[in-house]
Amino acid sequence: MMEVQANVKELPAGDRRVQDLIRGSQRRARFYRYFYAVVFNQKSDIRGSVLLSASSTKELDRLGEQLLAQPDSVCGAKAPHCTAFPQNSTVSLQIAILVNGLPRTIAWGSSVASVAPRPKHLALLRLYAGRLTPVEMIASDPNALRLSLFPGDQLTFDE
């Protein structure tokens, strides 16, 4: 699920809201991949961040490979699977999780340790096959704390 939130009170003249940049077809996709900086024009060094969407990981992998080889072929005008954000914008990807029963928004790619740096007890529930499933973790294992958090994860811990 994708939620878009713009934190700019007044847009510069001629700029569009981020909500208007991402097509409805992209919002309904199941899988996403974000590229921080893609070079669209080698001669003028035009760069922009890109959000790809697809209905499967296989399709997303194919689009990603095509984007890296020929960005304009994937992100051309009215591309249904791509949003290329303006060069002068900043895009931050965040995900929603529950921490000790309370909703929290964290940066995409955050680890368990970024939320629970030194837990004495740790429990993680993750959506798998449509159900919240326990993920076995040992709170004292530093490698376990490196696990990336996913949208919808439910983390409970004591320090």
Q: What is the pLDDT of residue 8?
A: 61
| CA dist., res. 51 & res. 49, Å (int) | 7
| CA dist., res. 4 & res. 17, Å (int) | 10
Per-residue pLDDT averaged across 139-158, rounded? 92
Chosen domain end from 34, 54, 84:
84
Chosen domain end from 84, 102, 134:
84
Range in 25-39, 88-102, 119-133 with the lowest mean pLDDT: 25-39
Whether this model's pTM surpasses 0.75 = no
Model confidence pLDDT, tens digit, residues 62-114: 999 998 888 778 887 778 888 887 777 767 778 889 999 999 999 878 999 99
Q: Is 51 exposed, middle or buried (0-12, 13-18, 19+ CB in 10 A)?
A: buried
Q: What is the pLDDT of residue 87?
A: 74
35 and 53 belong to one structural domain: yes
Tokens representing 6 are: 């713009």
118 and 77 belong to one structural domain: no
Q: Domain limits at 113?
A: 94-158
Mode of pairing for the β-strands spanning 102-107 and 131-135: unpaired
Mapped onto helix, strand or coil, the DSSP state of residue 151 is coil
Model confidence pLDDT, tens digit, residues 34-68: 877 665 555 545 567 888 889 899 999 999 999 88
Q: What is the pLDDT of residue 99?
A: 97
78 and 115 belong to one structural domain: no
Q: What is the pLDDT of residue 91?
A: 72
> How many structural domains does the chain have?
2
Type and span of the H or E element at 12: none
39 and 66 belong to one structural domain: yes
Is position 151 within any domain?
A: yes
